[in-house]
Each structure stands twice: as structure tokens, then as C-alpha cells.
Amino acid sequence: MVSISTSRSWVEIDLDALSHNVNYLSSLLKPKTKFMAVVKADGYGHGLITIARHCQRIGITAYAVATIDEGIKLRKAGISGEILILGFTHPIRAFELYKYHLIQSIIDSKYACELSWCGFDIDVHVKIDSGMHRLGFDVNDIGSIEELYEYNNLHIKGYFTHLCVCDSNKRSDISFTKSQINSFNRLINKLKKYNDVGKIHIQSSYGLINYPEIDCDYARIGILMYGIKSSHSDYLKIKLDLSPVLSIKSRIATIHHLVKGTKIGYGLTYQVTKDSIVATIPIGYGDGIPRQLSSNGYVLVKGQKCPIIGRICMDQMLVDVSRVKNLTSNEVVTIVGKDGNNEIRIEQLALAADTISNEILCRIKKRLPRIYKGANYIKIK
């Protein structure tokens, strides 16, 4: 039985915070725009099934995943509504797309031909490359796109593109994003003259906030749904009322009283400069904590900031707790989250590790049990 009382380290997921974030972000959508919850990569490390089930309880009816296996897991878990696979699925698995009523992204003409050749009726959304050059039909190649309507068993249910610099307020990036939006809209308007284009979607989290004038059928909301930004430097046009959904906790395993000059940890790279109290915390890079935080980060103990000292190990880290009074082993330690008046955010870990919050979340290993708190199933307004 997984519980906080018996876990060495764990992840806490606040479902009430998730409800709040979804409700708040939904209030920013245009009246006809639906919220598509992006739950790929194990729900950004929060837990694919529990996050999707909670979203379903509060009224979400559309989901985006990266792989067919993620989509199948959702169906087997009782998730109804539309499930869009954003990434590549091998054509040999076409029957599973049909069986589980999954929507597949079509990324080029060759792929469409191979998927159609399998013979199953499959709902698809057409991915349009409007400038990122990752996946999709060139936005100017209307001829190849119109040929898709000749495949009788591929049922086009939508078109979408991705804005790759919509989190920036650089003049050149704003100009590029607007060119992406305009070129995509021109394509859709041309296609509409003779074809049913289905549902249209352009916005991701940052697209919703920084380009609120976009009026489509869906907005694909990922990172902001979980209450965090990809990085501190990301531009947001408005101040957001969001709450982080995820916290990471551990506990003190043992406490050492070290004299001035003692060297500690792998490589003996850190030397205490005064008599110090050092705690061993049973969490490390094997759990997903960036090793770059070695002597370059802190944790919270009884609401106080305590520096990480020495090299972070695979399963443990050392922390200077000299300032904290009346400490004993088993005391809870906050790696990410709030404790008293202080807070450590995922964005801070990402900054120290020279990466983005998305990657930090995806690094969090399954050996850290997820403890889900709250379940205020308020329907989205």
C-alpha cells in the first residue's frame, strides 16, 4: 500500500489545483473553442490515467497524446471523447487505431498512402507545417493536401499546426508567429471552398495566452494545465492565476554532525567551512532530480532553505541543515513545492539544469509513487 508515511520519497499531485487550472484556462477560451487536454508523456509526469480521468470528471472531452500506446491506455481506462495522436504511428498498427477509435495525425503523402492501404476506416487530423519543419504537409502544398480526400477510408476530421515561438515577445518571433497563423488560415479558407475541413486547432498553452484572438475549434493545453511555465523567461501577455499541481517530497534518512574542514560526497568535492549538521535525503538523479543541482540548489526543511552540498548521487543527496532547530530523522523535506512561506518551483530546477520544466517533469521516475490529493470535481464553467 503506497502512502506518504511509508515512502522514502514521493510525488504529490493536487487534483484540486488541476481543476482550478483547467477551469481558469477554459475561461480564457473563445466561446466555441474546446479545451483539448495534452496528457502525453505520462501526463507530463503527473500520471496519464489519473490526470485524464480527473479531466473527464470535470468536463473535458478531448485529449492529445504522443503515441498510440498512450491512446490505448486511455481507452482501456474508460476515457471517452476524442483522443488525438500527435505523433507517428506505424501503419501496421492501423487496426488498433480503428479498434480503439483513435484519431491519427497525417504527416505527409507517403504516410497517408501507407495508412490507407491497410484498409481500415480511420479518423485523421492533417498536420500542417507552417514553418517549424518538424512534421506535416507544407502549408503551400495544397495539391498534396487535397489528394488526401481521395482516400475513402481516411476520414479527415480536422487540421492543425503548431506555433513554435509563440512564447517569445521578440519582434521577429511575433512576426513569424503571425505569418504561421496567416498562412494556415489561408490554406484552410482555400480548402473550405470544396472540402469539409472538420475541426481546426492552432493554439498550444502559450498560443492561448499570447494570441487570444485566434478563434478555432480546439486549443491544445499542456504545460500550463499543470500550473507551470516551461521556463522563467517565457513571455506571457497576461498574469495568470495558476497553481502548480505537482510537488516532490522526501524525508531525512540520517543526520551527521561534521567538524569544520570535513569533505563529503563523491569526489570529496565539497568541504564544510564550519562545524555543520548535514542530512542525507533519500532521493537523487535516479529519481529524476537533476545532477546539476549539486552544490547549486536547495530544499525546504521546516519551511527553511537548506542548500544541497556535494554531488547528488543516484539515490541520495546531502543537505546542510545547520540552521534548522530540533531536527530528527524522518522529517519531511520539500524538493519541489511549498513549505511555510517558501516555495521551490519546477522552473527553478529547470533553470539550474539549463533545460525546461517539461523535461524535468518527464525525468521524474516511476519509482517515486504518485500520491493524489483532493478531488473537487467542479464542472468547468
The identity of residue 343, as a single letter, is: E
102-155 confidence digits (pLDDT tens): 999 999 999 999 999 999 999 999 999 999 999 999 999 999 999 999 999 999
User: What would the DSSP string read from start to end of 98-162?
Assistant: HHTTPEEEE-SHHHHHHHHHT---EEEEEEEESSS-SSSEETT-HHHHHGGGG-TTEEEEEEE--
**CA 232, chain centre distance (Å):** 15
Query: What CATH architecture does domain 15-226 belong to?
Result: Alpha-Beta Barrel (3.20)
Q: How far apart are CA 127 and CA 109, in angstroms?
A: 11
pLDDT tens sequence across 11-60: 999 999 999 999 999 999 999 999 999 999 999 999 999 999 999 999 99
Each domain of the chain, given as residue ranges in start order, spans 15-226, 246-344
Please report, in range form, the residues annotated as the binding site for substrate.
Answer: 134, 314
* 246-344: CATH class: mainly beta
Q: Annotated binding residues, as ranges?
A: 134, 314
pLDDT along the chain (381 residues), means of 10: 79 97 98 98 98 97 99 98 98 98 98 97 99 97 98 98 97 98 98 97 98 98 98 93 98 98 98 98 98 97 98 98 96 98 97 97 96 68 36
Residue entry with cell 537533476: 290
CB atoms within 10 A of CB 242: 17
Q: Coil, strand or helix: which one is 168?
A: coil
Instruction: Return the closest-CA partner of residue 115 out of 133, 127, 130, 129.
Output: 127
Locate 189 and state its grid cell.
Answer: 479558407
Q: Which residues are catalytic?
A: 40, 266
The residue behind cell 526543511 is: 301
